[in-house]
Chains A and B, each alone.
Chain A
Amino acid sequence: MTAATRGNDAAAARFAPPVRVAAMTSAEPSKETGLRFQISKLDFFYGSKQAVFDFTLKIPANKVTALIGPSGCGKSTFLRTLNRMNETVRNSRFVGEILLDGQDISQMDVVGLRRRVGMVFQRPNPFPKSIYENVAYGLKINGYRGRLRDLVEHSLRRAALWEEVKDYLHKSAFALSGGQQQRLCIARALAVDPEVLLLDEPCSALDPVTTAKIEELMFHLKDSCTMVIVTHNMQQAARASDFTAFMLDGRLIEHNETSKLFTTPADPRTEAYITGRFG
């Protein structure tokens, strides 16, 4: 950790306690199990084409779970099922059960679900608005009334971006570099204080230094957030995650603690993939 980010953390701590948006988090994690998501027997279809098969996975709270696997194996599809983003795709549907803190997500109000399960996309997608407006967006559309300014600052600090942008809050978000834009998108997702953050290859468009920043950021976010990250980068999965799930052709092949999966994979296909024999 660098001195600069330590400074950020101290400052973030100062801001942390009072600003949690109580009204926005409706449920506590199921304490007894320590699980955030429980997915059982999930099948996902685009029209008649099945993309995910019989997928069962438990995602522990306040941990980073990485999804790895070759392109087109259904990682992103699975990730986007968790906040029902796939609903925007015509004729898509899923069968099976996805529980968030014990509640079935298909029964939940989609707006409420997405408020609790934030998402960061592969390419930074800031809105064509100012930096401030980007972070405040989620709060505004959710009808949050209160000191927006403080929450914006708090979110930017959590995303380790505050020091870099504090003097330019009203400049266009497009003026930022790619890595800054991605952290802005993380800050934007964090502003509504989600319990879960889904990251869909968040670093694939970024350089190694920026990638390291985001991984460090994820490490600190674990205190308050459960994360699920899709990545093509095996080193990233090994460095940044606590649990890793390996997917192949729409099926979950293996799921284990990251240290175990990468050192002693149980399935020969997992071993072949992580040693670079295919994919």
Chain B
Amino acid sequence: MNYCNVQVNNPHNSTHVPENVNVTGGMTCAPYPVVQSDLSLQLYYNGESYAYDDSYLSDVYVNPVQAATPCLSGNYYATIEFWIYFGPTWTPSTWDSEVTSPVVAITC
């Protein structure tokens, strides 16, 4: 049984640190932690890879990822590739996939 959710939010203008494009996302699992989780976040600008973050955590409920970069006007999207190991007693014991945000137009 898969009890986790992996979400990538839409890239956006940072309102806390202006003049940057920010993207957040991550894994949330409940009501149990997972044994291992590996997430890779890519932020794309006009189709080209522009910023990156990854996070490998063990025995956690959540595994957040975030990437930011100086803002250039254009089209952005983000992907998270992930691999989760629930533990040997779970069937299936792992889950790997990719989630992708819609393409959003950002003006700086």
Q: Do A and B come from one complex?
A: no
